[in-house]
Amino acid sequence: MLRPQTWYLLVAAILLVVCMIAGAGTMLQLVLLIAAAVSIVAAIPLFKNRKLQAGVTLLSILLLLAWYVVLALYAIPEIMHWQYALPAVAIFFVFIARKGILHDEKVIRSYDRIR
């Protein structure tokens, strides 16, 4: 049974792959999407090191926010398509996963205090 955070990260990675396939953005945006997707997938097996996992998810959120900054700088406003919303949905899923990861870390620390 996988943790809910793993499912959220998987959904976020799938959304980014769909965005890449749909061809959203410039070459720089494609590089940012690939970096964010790789960081999300790399965060999944880090469940035993929750602090590092939370840090990697924060990195992926920052990469996706950078994607929107590049979009704002280079995009023509009349040509906005549905795939431009996918990284925002991925940010939401990564944020929820990070919140769960930090909650798990808090629970583990409370158990350690009880011992």
Q: Which residues contact 13 (CB under 8 A, 6 or more apart)?
A: 37, 40, 41, 90
Per-residue confidence (pLDDT) for residue 1, from 0 to 100: 65
Per-residue confidence (pLDDT) for residue 33, from 0 to 100: 92
Contact status, residue 94 vs residue 26, Cβ threshold 8 Å: no
Exposure of 83 in the CB half-sphere (CA atoms within 13 A): 18
**pLDDT tens digits, the chain, 115 residues: what are they?**
678 889 999 999 999 999 888 876 778 888 999 999 999 999 999 888 889 999 999 999 999 999 989 888 877 666 667 788 899 999 999 999 999 999 988 988 888 777 6
